[in-house]
A and B are shown apart, each in its own frame.
Chain A
């Protein structure tokens, strides 16, 4: 890999080893052999990072990495269950792809029960958020609502502050220190330099499953299409009567009548973990979006339309999937399968073909998510929530969406708090207690 080699040398020349350590940290055991002489050395395209002391700047019962829909639900769930909680976020807002990625629809809110009735299944903290946004008139549609991103950021910020969670914005979790199957510390890159936080239990809500990879858990890296969403302003000022008017792809409505969000399917079969690929896509999309909006503006009737915002976050739909204690299958999701350790229920947002037959979105069963599908095989204080929990790829369209992330996040957060309180490993956590606490927090368990 000449490219990587070049980057490593560049890093050396600059005297910084951050980039190179990130590219190799996934492959090496955390806390691997320290350099003997304390100098960074280039050898076979890799360097050894010099050993150094990292200050432990904070301790908490539960550390949640990633403040997307899963992370926020996990942190609030854990905090409300009485655990001291830290929430680590690399950007400046809560909501992850939902808000920062402008993927505005809260999908999979509804599912059909065994009685054949369709009902809302996203309850608990996710349901609370949805209700809050609906009350603020910042959500449209009752089923699978589309929300306003700034309103969602605000609503979540209020909930997080009320729950007494310490949020570490502008912090990028870079590695985990693991000893005997226990994560002893998480290393964060921050404006204060590299720092460590000491968790009792970690909830991996990175979406990409970064923590589970650092912990040595098995995973699969699923390649999928990566897009970049943008929003258009003044869509209510399009003059359809103007001579030469032509219908243009201007996306879909948001709660603000002058604003549309425009989805992008994007390049397919992309590796969401490849820094070069991500950078390249970002560059390509930035140009493409501007030029697309220019094309729209040049179309008669669309003169007033403008590019309001390109999402700050690239739309990586899938990457790592945990190889956990139970792999939830598509079949499970279609058969009203009941789990003794269900920590939540998610719904379905699109029709599928099942057993050679069409099952419409409105008829699809609500599906229970077992606690075991969030639990890794080895690490004793790690739970995984969000799109990287353990499921079969056939279920991807329903497992990766905002609603499901909220459900798995809430379940993992509460489970983490319960495990901390009982001093048990996540594998031995008291499932009955977890479910009871979730029910107290108004989660729906089927």
Chain B
């Protein structure tokens, strides 16, 4: 077995470097974590889950083309987790065999797709690229509980690779499973034409120890896989997905989600926890939620208006989201993408105390705050139909009298984009 740190793979190290740059705490805006848009595993789930697919899924489709012709092309060239796993695997002097493990990756893939078809693509968080990006969270958020939890995924994968070299890439990774399956389907098609079949039987060159197409062990596993077992997995996946959806629908966490987020039940199960939105956000108001009472929403991005607010001119989070959990929205749409709504504790309001202040009125980019009341009972008032909960007033208020509160259960707007308050001003 040849060393994987082989210098004959400059493309791989270059792409790892690029991935690091895109994941690093740099002001990249929409480009933060661009790498994730190349994952066909995520794109396929987004497609199946009927979350709005944007043009950003195009790279993933393009990646699939060479993968069909050359299995593991993606792992060998583009996957940053793959590169890291191989580097870790190379540390081990006496490698243990991964071949005795069943091809769990394909099972995971089918299960993930079944979940996605139920509208709960929660296994998207096993995407190796998402894991890689989530691992950078401490660099963005500091060593908070949420950041450390976000980073554990990649650490687990690397630990597995240290114990059983290449086990993750070749037997566990669902993105690897997708490629294996794609290659198998391709081979099955090829076998139909007898002329090609003979050629295909020849063992290919062993590149970087990742098996070339047609490796016997893989084929045997594949055959078994495409049979009865896959049906069981699909049934189990669909059942699990439906149960998940029901459970996710029943909860109503008091948390603010980014603008353009899917309705709460779907958001928590669609978000792959890659943290892209958090690093794309120029005001750094997206933070992973750590509410252990709401396990479905764990580590999904929540909005905290401290110290910034959601800029009316920004749509970075939507474009950075690889799963469509946050829809890729346009800036012009922000006026109807509700995060929550502003609530003013009037007893703390300077204006109500007869002091000179109009910070909330001046800061509102949506003209949702106005002064009302008589001459001596002046008070700011929120127009709930205009207030999207951007948090500008919460940030601007000198006495901290304003808080953005989430709506109750979200009602997805027609077309699946954005939320509308169920009843204006109703307590959530």
Q: Which residues of A contact B (CB under 8 A)?
A: 105, 107, 225, 227, 249, 251-252, 262-268, 285, 288-289, 292, 350-353, 355-358, 360-361, 397
Contacts and interface: CB of A to CB of B under 8 A. Distances in A.
Contacts of B308: 355-358
A143 to B, nearest CB: 14
B309 interface: yes
A352 B359 contact: yes
Given A264-B375, A285-B375, A353-B309, A397 B396 contact: no
A397 B354 CA distance: 16
Contact of B355 (A252, A289, A355, A356): A252
Contact of B354 (A249, A350, A351, A360): A249
B376 interface: yes
A265 B363 contact: no
B395 A358 contact: yes
Contact of B375 (A288, A351, A397): A288
B375 to A, nearest CB: 5
A353 B392 contact: yes
B309 A356 contact: yes
Interface string B349-377: 00111111111001100000011001111
Residues of B in contact with A, size category: 20 to 34
B219 to A, nearest CB: 56
B396 to A, nearest CB: 4
A246 B184 CA distance: 81
B282 interface: yes
B375 A252 contact: no
Binding site of B, secondary structure by majority: helix, strand, loop or mixed? loop
A227 to B, nearest CB: 8
Contacts of A252: 353-355
A262 B351 CA distance: 11
Contact of B395 (A225, A268, A356): A356
Q: Which residue of B362, B375, B378, B396 has the most chain A CB atoms within 10 A of its CB atom? A: B375
B311 A264 contact: no
B354 A356 contact: no
Given A264-B376, A356-B395, A358-B396, A351 B309 contact: no
Interface string B301-314: 00000111111000
Contacts of B363: 352-353
B359 A350 contact: yes
Contacts of A285: 375
B230 interface: no
A197 B354 CA distance: 42
Contacts of A263: 354-356
Nearest to B283: A356
A348 to B, nearest CB: 11
16 contacts: A225-B358, A263-B356, A264-B378, A265-B375, A266-B375, A266-B378, A285-B375, A351-B397, A352-B396, A353-B359, A356-B282, A356-B308, A357-B308, A358-B307, A358-B395, A358-B396
Given A352-B396, A353-B392, A353-B396, A292 B307 contact: no
A353 B351 CA distance: 18
Nearest to A296: B376
Given A350-B357, A355-B308, A356-B283, 10 more contacts: A227-B375, A251-B354, A264-B378, A292-B376, A350-B398, A352-B359, A352-B363, A356-B395, A357-B308, A360-B398
